[in-house]
Amino acid sequence: MIFLKTDDEIELLRQSNLLVGKTLAELAKVIKPGVTTKELDKVAEEYIRDNGATPTFKGFPNFKGASFPASICTSVNEQVVHGIPSDVVLKDGDIVSVDCGTYMNGFCGDSAYTFPVGEVSDSVLHLLKTTKEALYKGIENAVSGKRLGDIGSAVQEYCENESFGVVREFVGHGIGKEMHEDPMVPNYGKRGNGILLKNGLCIAIEPMITLGDRHIVMERDGWTVRTVDHSCAAHFEHTIAIRKGKADILSSFKFVEEVLGEKAI
Ligand code: MG
Ligand code: MG
């Protein structure tokens, strides 16, 4: 069931999502070779709680009923999504996708950014730029009167045109009082297919794109998703609302990119 949101509810969603954007910026300040993903998790959890919110990911159940043990997902290199922060040290040339969720005033925030660690190769940088641009291609299609398939097909076409893989098994989603609501928002599809997009629809669009083959496997920890061929994967996510016929981006990369400067993707 799809819950369309009122303007007041959208403003509450925006507040929660802006906090996600600011949390990602706190992480942008500390992501460098030598830092562990567990240290990033600590920074994020403290910042979220200091701002009167709770990290939605902590305790989130998986298909086995196990609880996610951290406040952010940190997915390094071949890890696509849902990586668990650990004592693994980030090194020069790595990439790390940070996915962050907050719950504040009854509404959820959800956004992700993939950070280069030090200097990354040209091919990996191209993957990051393409994935981020694909997110905006999807958002351009999140307007009233279009259909859900228009979003996915825009993402898919843009990435496959660069010979990158588009992950199918994990998708974007509706968002509101719950982090995952209907509808599912795939990063592939056919133009003109799927539900009609309407004002009040709030969704997270989140392309997960691979440098090599699109196939993925879940690690034995029951969370971490990685590419079968061990090629790098990138993940960018915004939460958006359709308002007055157009996409209103509720999360923000502005804070992150102020910190990253010319290193912004
Ligand atoms: Mg997310
Ligand atoms: Mg999401």
**How far is the centre of ligand 2, averaged over its atoms, from the C-alpha of 212 (Å)?**
23
Let me know if residue 231 belongs to a domain. Answer: yes
Which tokens is 182 given? 């209907």
% of residues, the chain, pLDDT over 70:
100
**How far is the centre of ligand 2, averaged over its atoms, from the C-alpha of 172 (Å)?**
6
CA distances (Å), origin 225, targets 84, 201, 228, 240: 10, 28, 9, 25
Let me know if residue 1 belongs to a domain. Answer: no
Let me know if residue 20 belongs to a domain. Answer: yes
Which ligand number lies closest to the CA of residue 111?
1
- Residue 63 pLDDT class (50, 70, 90 cuts): confident
Once rounded to an integer, what is the mean pLDDT over residues 151-165?
98
71 and 24 Cβ atoms separated by less than 8 Å: no
pLDDT for 211:
98
- Residue 70 pLDDT class (50, 70, 90 cuts): very high
**How far is the centre of ligand 2, averaged over its atoms, from the C-alpha of 236 (Å)?**
10
72 and 44 Cβ atoms separated by less than 8 Å: yes
Model confidence over 93-144: pLDDT tens digits?
999 999 999 999 999 999 999 999 999 999 999 999 999 999 999 999 999 9
175 and 110 Cβ atoms separated by less than 8 Å: yes
Protein residues with C-beta less than 5 angstroms from the ion ligand 2: 110, 204
Q: Calculate the average pLDDT of the chain.
A: 97
Number of domains in the chain: 1
pLDDT above 90: residue 64: no
Which tokens is 125 given? 């940088």
Within 10 angstroms of residue 249's Cβ, the number of other Cβ atoms is 20
**How far is the centre of ligand 1, averaged over its atoms, from the C-alpha of 251 (Å)?**
11
User: Computed over its alpha carbons, how large is the radius of gyration of the chain?
Assistant: 17
CATH number for position 204: 3.90.230.10
**How far is the centre of ligand 1, averaged over its atoms, from the C-alpha of 34 (Å)?**
25
Q: Which residues contact 163 (CB under 8 A, 6 or more apart)?
A: none
Model confidence over 179-200: pLDDT tens digits?
999 999 999 999 999 999 999 9
Q: 103: which strand partners? A: 54, 108
Enclosing domain of residue 165: 7-263
Let me know if residue 2 belongs to a domain. Answer: no
202 and 175 Cβ atoms separated by less than 8 Å: yes
**How far is the centre of ligand 2, averaged over its atoms, from the C-alpha of 164 (Å)?**
21
Let me know if residue 259 belongs to a domain. Answer: yes
**How far is the centre of ligand 1, averaged over its atoms, from the C-alpha of 236 (Å)?**
8
**How far is the centre of ligand 1, averaged over its atoms, from the C-alpha of 205 (Å)?**
9
